[in-house]
């Protein structure tokens, strides 16, 4: 059973965290049969943490967890912090295949999405 | 003459800022006839600043500047800081139409892009 765990930075603004939770619900709807479990977790400032998010996926029955960084650049959070948070849980659950996916900003579709956003008023 | 000004947060990591500059070059290629001028600017930690970025567009001959926030959530930076940075330049150049576009995270294409990224290993 495959789980998708969307990782956001987390914000002091509750609305920003709720925006991530709403997006996660949307992902769940679109994921169809690809991911039986779709959850989100936060690097800091909001709950659940990344280890807690992985734990919830495992408790849901996940045998594979795809950790998906909702980040635009390959900064310290993507390169170091997220892998560090994942490592402990991988050691705790060696039978679960935890894989970190490419961060959103690396997606080749970003430029076209930006050009589309440019036509939409704030 | 219409300019597109991509606004990123800015990072202490030079590579992250360079990632934004590379993206801007890509946008320039894809923008075709829609935007004669495509530039980037940073809210903090990198150059040019937002006012300097607008200034550069105006010096290039822009009569319209679309300010495009490369941000994932409608946090303080999107809601308050970017509009504040833009305001002074709009007052300085009343003949230039400066318009703030919707931030990237609000784009309805984000969920599908995330599902595509989930299949790509980090």
How much is the mean pLDDT over chain A?
Answer: 96
Whole-model pTM: value is 0.92
Residue A122 lies in a domain: no
* pLDDT confidence of residue A89: 97
State residue A32's pLDDT score.
Answer: 86
Is residue A120 over pLDDT 90?
yes
Could you read off the pLDDT of A86-105 as tens digits, one per residue? 999 999 999 999 999 999 99
Which residues on chain B are in Cβ contact (under 8 Å) with A73?
8, 11, 13, 16, 19-20
Q: Give the range of the structural domain holding residue B21, as residue numbers without chain letter.
A: 2-118
Render pLDDT for A51-88 as a digit per residue (tens, 0 to 9).
999 999 999 999 999 999 999 988 889 999 999 999 99
Which residues of B, range 16-75, sit inside 8 Å of A by Cβ? Answer: 16, 19-20, 23, 26-27, 30-31, 34-35, 66, 68-75
What does the alpha-carbon distance between residue A45 and residue A73 come to, in Å, rounded to a whole number? 19
According to the model, what pLDDT value does residue B74 have?
A: 86
pLDDT in the model for residue A64: 98
Question: Which neighbouring-strand residues pair with A14?
Answer: none
What is the mean pLDDT, run by run of 10 residues, along chain B of 122 residues?
97 92 96 94 97 98 98 91 97 98 96 96 88
State the pLDDT at residue A74: 85
| A63 within a domain of the structure (yes/no) | yes
Residue A96 domain-assigned (yes or no): yes
Residue A75: predicted pLDDT: 84
Domain at A25, CATH number: 3.40.50.1400
Q: Answer yes or no: are the C-beta atoms of A5 and A54 closer than 8 Å.
A: yes
Pairwise CA distance, residues B109 & A26, whole Å: 11
How far is the alpha carbon of A88 from chain B, nearest alpha carbon, in Å? 18
What local confidence, expressed as pLDDT, does residue A8 receive?
A: 97
- Total number of domains constituting chain B: 1
Chain B partners within 8 Å of A13 (Cβ):
73, 75-76
Task: Quickly count: other Cβ atoms within 10 Å of residue A92's Cβ.
Answer: 12
Domain for residue A59, yes or no?
yes
The answer to whether the CB of A76 falls within 8 A of the CB of A84 is: no
Sign for the CA dihedral angle at A24, A43, A8, A89 comes to: negative
């Amino acid at each position: 059973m495959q789980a998708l765990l969307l990782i956001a930075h987390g914000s002091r603004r509750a609305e920003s965290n709720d925006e991530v939770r709403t997006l996660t619900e949307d992902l769940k709807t679109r994921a169809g049969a690809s991911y039986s479990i779709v959850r989100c977790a936060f690097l800091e400032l909001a709950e659940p943490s990344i280890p807690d998010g992985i734990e919830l996926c495992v408790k849901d029955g996940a045998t594979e967890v795809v950790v998906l960084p909702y980040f635009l650049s390959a900064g310290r959070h993507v390169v170091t912090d997220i892998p560090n948070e994942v490592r402990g849980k991988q050691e705790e659950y060696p039978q679960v295949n935890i894989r970190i996916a490419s961060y959103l900003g690396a997606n080749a579709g970003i430029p076209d999405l930006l050009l589309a956003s440019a036509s939409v008023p704030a």
